[in-house]
């Protein structure tokens, strides 16, 4: 007798066994302590949401040069490792699983956020439209410095070091952030990558940095503990590409060869941007577990899992406002209303004070 799979069915993503298929998406909240060290408030926040099949942490800088916003946690110092260890211990004590998203923002930064006022780095010296969120308020982005070929191996090494720190901190795995207009995505898309060397031009060349990072992280901690996030058509952070279907079909095929724990894809443009892209086609190019993300609810999530398109569904804002989202979906209970004013920065308000069912 066959059983239809749904959000509440268990699933394995590589070495990570999930009790359900509801994934908490990575959500920047800007509430880390001094030195990028997670603090007790962060422990409470993640512990509250441990009923998710998998928690993907907020995007977490892999080095001091990888930062692009205030009050971000890092994963490259001993103090940061110790802070994250309290979070992973709390999540595991509640029966949850948690991976950390590894982040380098590239050009989406500002000298005031970087060591010694350094210029942000990027594949090409192209200033993005928009403004940086800094400790001094909103400031115009600056023109980044184009990375030299000689600098790329040290960037790859930063991803490896962060991955090793993540395992020391007790994480079940890592997610390579290759989405949303940050450094790896800047290499992938030809709107931000105008290089004329072996990392620019053709799709194969623009994919090179991603594959080097992936191979190094896989070699360091094992493919079954490594996921990846992509956003093929998200225009966020002034991003575009002339042929996203061809580019990301190639990316999906290339990373499939690593036998990763999962591929996590934002299936559209954030903010409801209309896009012309076939995500079913992309899905066929990746042979492993697949997490779909973007404005899913229970009904649509169940349908996509039952169809076989996705193995799990990532939910963002619903997990911000509903620490017990899994139970609310299970019994069709009403959801809390999210407070968008408290998404970024602040204290426990809009972070750890959303009510549980029956509270």
Q: What is the pLDDT along the chain (359 residues), one digit of tens a residue?
A: 457 899 999 999 999 999 999 999 999 999 999 999 999 999 999 999 999 999 999 999 999 999 999 999 999 999 999 999 999 999 999 999 999 999 999 999 999 999 999 999 999 999 999 999 999 999 999 999 999 999 999 999 999 999 999 999 999 999 999 999 999 999 999 999 999 999 999 999 999 999 999 999 999 999 999 999 999 999 999 999 999 999 999 999 999 999 999 999 999 987 666 678 999 999 999 999 999 999 999 999 999 999 999 999 999 999 999 999 999 999 999 999 999 999 999 999 999 999 999 87
SS3 state of residue 6: coil
Rg, C-alpha atoms of the chain:
19
Token match 């899913």: residue? 296
Cα–Cα distance, 177 to 174 (Å, whole number): 9
Expressed in angstroms, the distance from the first to the final Cα of the chain is: 40
Token match 């931000």: residue? 192
For 25, which DSSP code? P
Strands 173-177 and 145-146: unpaired
For 339, which DSSP code? -
Q: 76 catalytic, yes or no?
A: no
Residue 238: exposure state from Cβ atoms within 10 A (0-12, 13-18, ≥19) = middle
Q: Are 71 and 345 in contact (CB under 8 A)?
A: yes
Catalytic residue of the set 45, 159, 182, 199: 182
Residues 6+ apart with CB under 8 A from 321: 335, 336, 337, 338, 339, 354
Strands 54-61 and 22-24: parallel
SS3 state of residue 17: strand
Which domains can be identified in the chain, with CATH numbers? 11-342 (3.20.20.70)
């Amino acid at each position: 007798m066959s059983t239809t799979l749904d959000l509440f069915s268990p699933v394995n993503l590589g070495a990570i066994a999930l009790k359900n298929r509801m994934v908490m998406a990575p959500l920047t909240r800007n509430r880390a302590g001094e030195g990028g060290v997670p603090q007790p408030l962060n422990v409470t926040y993640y512990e509250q949401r441990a009923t998710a099949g998998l928690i993907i942490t907020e995007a977490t800088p892999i080095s001091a040069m990888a930062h692009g916003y205030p009050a971000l946690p890092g994963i490259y110092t001993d103090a940061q490792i110790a802070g994250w260890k309290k979070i992973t211990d709390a999540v595991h004590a509640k029966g949850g699983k948690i991976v950390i998203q590894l982040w380098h923002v590239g050009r989406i930064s500002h000298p005031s956020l970087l060591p010694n006022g350094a210029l942000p780095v990027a594949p090409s010296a192209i200033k993005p439209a928009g403004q940086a969120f800094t400790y001094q308020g909103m400031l115009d982005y600056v023109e980044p410095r184009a990375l030299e070929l000689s600098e790329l191996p040290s960037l790859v090494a930063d991803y490896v070091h962060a991955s090793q720190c993540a395992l020391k901190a007790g994480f079940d795995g890592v997610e390579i952030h290759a989405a949303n207009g940050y450094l790896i995505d800047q290499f992938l898309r030809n709107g931000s990558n105008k290089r004329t060397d072996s990392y620019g031009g053709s799709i194969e060349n623009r994919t090179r940095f991603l594959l080097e990072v992936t191979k190094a992280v896989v070699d360091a901690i094992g493919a079954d503990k490594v996921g990846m996030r992509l956003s093929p058509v998200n225009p966020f952070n002034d991003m575009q590409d002339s042929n996203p279907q061809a580019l990301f079909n190639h990316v999906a095929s290339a990373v499939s060869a690593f036998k990763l724990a999962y591929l996590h894809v934002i299936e559209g443009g954030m903010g409801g941007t209309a896009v012309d892209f076939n995500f079913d086609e992309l899905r066929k190019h990746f042979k492993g577990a697949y997490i779909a993300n973007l404005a899913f609810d229970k009904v649509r999530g169940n349908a996509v899992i039952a169809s076989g398109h996705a193995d799990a569904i990532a939910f963002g804002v619903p997990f911000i406002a509903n620490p017990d989202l899994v139970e609310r979906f299970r019994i069709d209970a009403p959801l809390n209303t999210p407070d968008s004013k408290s998404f970024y920065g602040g204290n426990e308000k809009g972070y750890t004070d959303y009510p549980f069912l029956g509270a």
